[in-house]
């Protein structure tokens, strides 16, 4: 729409030029005219055209300015309307929030009222329950008191009967305890005599066993001495104590010098001699083997 006057202007200009050319052509063919005169007429026409063109340009600019001003007014009005709509929306949002808040507060108030009434009902029910419970307990206490008195009377009769029975049983127990005491005393004397006899027999058996043990220890020590080779150097006066672990059959498992002679060569020679003497002679009675599982003896080559 803004370009329509300009299009109209160009259309008129083309038609004017076309008509001017036709007129000039006819005048030039019918009667010759001086060239300066024709040039002047052309200049007058062009100035009018420029003047018309300037008017049209100014008109276009004015229309464009009016259109821009009108568009600005429309834009401002649109912005103002949008701003107003935004304010209205915010106001509605605020009113809606306030309405919801009021609804929530009202619901809270209603809930609080319901809760208060429920609490009051609960307290009333509890009070009634307590009253009923107190009444029940009072009746129960009266019944228990009646039963207790009856039970006391029954127990008193029973206690008298039991007391008489206890006296009778106590006399019987006293007689039985006296008889039991006599039996225990007789049994104690018999056990004491048997224990004394057993100790005598054990001591005799221990002396016998110890004699056998001492004899075989001496035999073992002599066998170790026969297998002992004196190391180089002076070994006079050296003595050590050895501990030997033995298995049934007399085989030596381990030898350890538990009390050294002070000479490492002498101690090692004794350990070697014990291993060479294996198996060691043991008593024929296997009951005595426990005394030889771990055996300690003093090795003195000069003994």
Query: For the domain that residue 259 is a member of, what is the CATH number?
Result: 3.30.1150.10
Of 212 and 178, the one with more pLDDT: 178
pLDDT at 38: 47
Last residue of a domain, one of 97, 126, 157: 97
Eight-state DSSP code of residue 291:
G
Does residue 2 carry a pLDDT above 50? no
Please compute the mean of the pLDDT values over residues 275-285 and round it to a whole number.
Answer: 90
pLDDT of residue 23: 61
Average pLDDT (273-302) is 89
Residue 161 placed within a domain: no
Residue 154 included in any domain: no
**Contact present, 301 and 225 (Cβ < 8 Å):** yes
Residues 70-122: tens digit of each pLDDT: 899 999 989 999 999 999 799 899 989 899 997 999 999 988 899 999 898 99
**Residues of the domain holding 292:** 227-299
| Angstrom distances, CA of residue 71 to CA of 4, 63, 67, 74, 79 | 19, 12, 6, 5, 12
In a domain, 169, yes or no: no
The tens digit of pLDDT for each residue in 131-174 reads 889 989 888 989 998 898 889 889 888 999 999 899 899 899 99
Confidence of residue 262 (pLDDT cuts 50, 70, 90): very high
Q: Is 148 contained in some domain?
A: no
SS3 31: coil
Q: Which of residues 38, 63, 97 is at a domain's end? A: 97
Count of domains for the chain: 2
CA distances for 48 relative to 17, 22, 258, angstroms: 12, 18, 150
Res 24: pLDDT? 65
Q: Give the DSSP H/E element, type plus range, for residue 296.
A: strand 294-299
| Confidence tier at 4 by pLDDT (50, 70, 90) | low
- What is the structure's pLDDT at 93? 92
In a domain, 171, yes or no: no
Return the higher-pLDDT residue of 2 and 240.
Answer: 240
Range among 20-34, 92-106, 278-292 rated most confident: 92-106
- Each residue of 202-228: pLDDT tens digit? 677 678 778 888 888 999 999 999 999
Interaxial angle between packed helices 35-226 and 264-277, expressed in degrees from 0 to 180 and rounded to the nearest 10: 70
Please indicate, yes or no, if residue 126 is contained in any of the structural domains: no
- Which tokens go with 49? 């055209």
The encoded tokens of residue 303 equal 């003994």
Which of 78, 97, 116 is the endpoint of a domain? 97
Nearest to 275 by CA among 229, 235, 236: 229
User: Is 261 a residue whose pLDDT tops 80?
Assistant: yes
Rounded Cα–Cα distance for residues 114 and 7 (Å): 83
The residue ranking higher by pLDDT, 292 or 233, is: 292
Q: Is residue 208 part of a domain?
A: no
User: Does any domain span residue 217?
Assistant: no
Residues 111 and 105: their CA atoms lie apart, in Å, by 10
Q: How confident is the model at residue 3 (pLDDT cuts 50, 70, 90)?
A: low
Quote the mean pLDDT of the chain: 85
Specify the pLDDT at position 5. 62
């Amino acid at each position: 729409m803004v370009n329509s006057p300009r299009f109209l202007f160009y259309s008129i200009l083309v038609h004017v030029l076309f008509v001017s050319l036709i007129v000039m052509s006819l005048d030039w063919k019918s009667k010759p005219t001086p060239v300066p005169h024709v040039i002047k007429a052309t200049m007058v026409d062009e100035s009018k055209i420029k003047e018309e063109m300037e008017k049209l340009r100014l008109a276009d600019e004015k229309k464009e300015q009016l259109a821009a001003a009108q568009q600005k007014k429309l834009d401002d009005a649109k912005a103002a309307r949008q701003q107003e709509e935004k304010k209205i929306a915010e106001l509605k949002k605020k009113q809606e929030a306030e309405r919801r808040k009021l609804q929530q507060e009202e619901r809270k108030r209603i809930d609080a009222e319901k809760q208060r009434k429920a609490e009051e009902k609960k307290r009333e029910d509890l009070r009634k329950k307590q009253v009923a419970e107190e009444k029940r307990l009072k009746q129960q206490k009266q019944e228990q008191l009646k039963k207790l008195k009856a039970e006391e009377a029954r127990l008193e009769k029973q206690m008298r009967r039991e007391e008489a029975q206890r006296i009778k049983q106590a006399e019987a127990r006293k007689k039985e305890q006296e008889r039991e005491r006599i039996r225990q005393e007789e049994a104690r004397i018999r056990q004491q005599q048997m224990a004394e006899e057993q100790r005598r027999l054990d001591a005799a058996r221990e002396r016998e066993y110890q004699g056998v043990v001492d004899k075989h220890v001496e035999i073992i020590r002599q066998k170790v001495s026969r297998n002992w080779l004196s190391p180089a150097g002076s070994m006079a006066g050296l003595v050590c104590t050895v501990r030997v672990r033995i298995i049934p059959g007399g085989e030596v498992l381990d030898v350890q010098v538990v009390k050294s002679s002070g000479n490492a060569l002498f101690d090692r020679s004794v350990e070697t001699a014990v291993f060479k003497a294996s198996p060691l002679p043991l008593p024929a009675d296997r009951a005595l083997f426990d005394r030889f599982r771990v055996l300690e003896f003093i090795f003195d080559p000069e003994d």
